[in-house]
């Protein structure tokens, strides 16, 4: 088990600087354009693929970094560059994590490479869990998957929403209900291969922030997939459902320990989302710091005023605290230590709230300039709002933390 350290090793520093260079030289100059266009920045993704930054090999290396810091370090630097473009680059990763968390070795080897494609033919993937009436309330999910035993096929029907890369993805990972009586414990994840009939893109959302990232509904109408597209396989599913039924008959507390497919993915990704928020917050802080040092009022830089200087001191303190929470959770996950105090949710909660607060303070420091699109803090503030919403709202994170600490079914 790797020992915890606040210091990146030389290899990690080299990777960090490499990503930072791409973020600074390629992403930032294009950020405002793709935000205005509200389109997937395919040329930027392809540039990332050409240098190996958008590839299965790169993310596998970071994912299996024994210190656990590879993924949060990568996320922070990319989202320091631009949140919308970064989400277009890393959005495939959520679908990949869904397969890694629930799939067999054969499924991982078959489907994850197809999610990325290659530098000459870039692909993206989508993880589809949320529904119009089932966001934080995963038990309200209605998309159904019914097994056709005669053909060894699963038939899926329903509508997914808020899907990053939804409809434009090569591979979709869809969470569906297989046993309605078990609520959220009766869910399973399925691979929808490229070109499968019955899957289509619904509404594409026009968003407040992260506008360079494609977000849309995914409609499933009698979508048939082979039996081996059930992540983990049917034998494992049947065993899990049987356990859920048995525990459900005992007590609600026992049932609470049976994980569902969507939550397994979210638990693995929450510290990474926290790292995204840290990157955006850090970018806004650096813009505000530089502006405060060069902007003069009443004959002196505005940073000479305590009102501004103290804000910057608080901003930096909160950012560093958020990063440490993210790193702790990431290290614990890599070391196989359970989140006995919901450390993953803690990191996501604090980092996302910090990003909203810091980007708002950055606008205040820049004054009227901060409110215009001529300065990037306006875009960063819009982008930051999503961190307290997706992959579990701040309210849900607090609920998870409170339940974990108390052991009580807090509502």
CA distances from 310 to 129, 279, 305, 368 (A): 42, 21, 8, 20
Q: Which two tokens stand for residue 29?
A: 């100059």
Spatial neighbors of 7 by CB under 8 A, at least 6 apart, are none
Alpha helices in 151-260 (DSSP H): 234-250, 252-256
Give yes or no for a contact between 171 and 192, defined as CB atoms under 8 angstroms apart.
yes
- Helix axis angle for 10-22 and 70-81, nearest 10°, is 20
From 76, 287, 378, 391, the catalytic residue:
391
How is residue 25 annotated by DSSP? I
Q: Which two tokens stand for residue 186?
A: 């009766």
Q: Which two tokens stand for residue 141?
A: 């999910």
Whether residue 287 lies in the annotated active site: no
Give yes or no for a contact between 163 and 127, defined as CB atoms under 8 angstroms apart.
yes
SS3 150: coil
CA distance 285 to 309: 12
Could you tell me which of 290, 405, 300, 276 has the C-alpha nearest to residue 351?
Answer: 276
Q: Which two tokens stand for residue 254?
A: 């026992």
Q: Is the dihedral of CA 332, 334, 335, 338 positive or negative?
A: positive
SS3 53: coil
Residue corresponding to tokens 């869990």: 129
Give yes or no for a contact between 189 and 126, defined as CB atoms under 8 angstroms apart.
no
Number of Cβ within 10 Å of residue 220's Cβ equals: 24
CA distance 75 to 325: 15
Give yes or no for a contact between 154 and 224, defined as CB atoms under 8 angstroms apart.
yes
CA distance 27 to 89: 11
Q: Do the strands 125-128 and 171-177 form a parallel or antiparallel pair, or are they unpaired?
A: parallel
CA distance 42 to 124: 10
Instruction: Catalogue the active-site residues.
Output: 391
């Amino acid at each position: 088990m790797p020992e915890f350290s606040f210091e990146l090793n030389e290899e990690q520093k080299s990777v960090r600087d490499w990503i930072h260079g791409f973020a600074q030289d390629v992403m930032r100059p294009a950020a405002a354009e793709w935000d205005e266009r509200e389109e997937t920045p395919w040329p930027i993704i392809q540039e990332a693929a050409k240098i190996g930054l958008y590839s299965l090999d790169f993310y596998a290396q970071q994912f299996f970094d024994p210190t656990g810091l590879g993924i949060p370090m990568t996320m922070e630097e990319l989202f320091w560059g631009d949140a919308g473009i970064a989400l277009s680059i890393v959005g495939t990763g959520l679908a990949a994590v869904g397969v890694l968390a629930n799939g067999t070795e054969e499924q991982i080897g078959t489907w994850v490479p197809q999610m990325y494609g290659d530098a000459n033919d870039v692909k993206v993937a989508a993880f589809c869990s949320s529904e119009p009436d089932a966001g934080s309330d995963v038990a309200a999910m209605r998309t159904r998957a019914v097994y056709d035993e005669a053909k060894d096929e699963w038939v899926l029907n329903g509508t997914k929403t808020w899907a990053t890369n939804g409809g434009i993805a090569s591979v979709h990972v869809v969470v569906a209900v297989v046993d309605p009586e078990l609520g959220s414990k009766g869910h399973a994840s399925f691979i929808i291969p490229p070109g499968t009939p019955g899957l289509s893109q619904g509404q594409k959302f026009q968003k407040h922030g992260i506008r360079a990232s494609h977000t849309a509904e995914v409609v499933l109408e009698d979508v048939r997939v082979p039996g081996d597209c059930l992540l983990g396989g049917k034998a494992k599913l049947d065993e899990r459902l049987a356990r859920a039924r048995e525990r459900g008959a005992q007590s609600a507390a026992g049932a609470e320990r049976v994980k569902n497919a969507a939550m397994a993915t979210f638990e693995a990704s929450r510290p990474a989302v926290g790292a995204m928020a840290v990157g955006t917050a850090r970018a806004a802080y650096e813009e505000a710091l530089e502006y405060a040092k060069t902007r003069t009022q009443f004959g002196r830089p505005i940073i000479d005023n305590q009102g501004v200087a103290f804000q910057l001191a608080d901003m930096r303190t909160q950012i560093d605290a958020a990063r440490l929470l993210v790193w702790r959770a990431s290290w614990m996950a890599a070391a196989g230590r359970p989140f006995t105090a919901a450390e993953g949710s803690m990191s996501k909660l604090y980092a996302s709230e910090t990003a909203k607060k810091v980007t708002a303070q950055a606008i205040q420091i820049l004054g009227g300039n901060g409110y215009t699109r001529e300065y990037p803090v306006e875009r960063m503030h819009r982008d930051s709002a999503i961190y307290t919403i997706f992959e579990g709202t701040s309210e849900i994170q607090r609920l998870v933390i409170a339940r974990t600490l108390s052991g009580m079914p807090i509502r």
